[in-house]
Amino acid sequence: MTQEEYPYVNHMNILHNALELIDIDSLVSKCTDKWYNQTLCKVNDSVVRLGILHGEYHWHKHDKEDEFFFTLDGELIVDIENKESVSLGRHQGYMVPKGVVHKTRAPGKTVVLMIETAGIIPTGDS
């Protein structure tokens, strides 16, 4: 997959180490991208990522990893192949199990936390 196919800004580097303050509001206020993903920290074998989203992601799946979404602000819609969509408002979460084809949409600027394994490929395995 190329940047032209999926023009999302994905920062896989770990932004914060243990015992460091993570200021979500500061990161959100500095973000000018419509679809931004930044790894905040590593917790055991998983990572916590910040998503600042506006628009629609593509259909994809993760063959070996579950993915958890938690909305901090805005609305995140999770579309699941052959199922009804789920709308997440502020302080609501949803877990997509491995192997399930899905996509996410944000009708307006939305801020989410994602918890997933450190090796996950955000654009999906297929």
Identify the pLDDT of residue 5. 53
Listed by start position, the domains of the chain span: 9-117
Identify the pLDDT of residue 7. 67
CATH code of the domain occupying 9-117: 2.60.120.10
Q: How distant, in Å, are the alpha carbons of 16, 83, 89, 122, 123 from that of 10?
A: 16, 27, 23, 8, 9
Identify the pLDDT of residue 3. 44
* Tens-digit pLDDT profile for residues 2-16: 445 556 898 999 999
- The C-alpha atoms of residue 124 and residue 20 are separated, in whole angstroms, by 30
**Helix, strand, coil shares of the chain as percentages rounded to 5?**
5, 45, 50
* Tens-digit pLDDT profile for residues 11-30: 999 999 999 999 999 999 99
**Predicted TM-score of the model (pTM):** 0.90
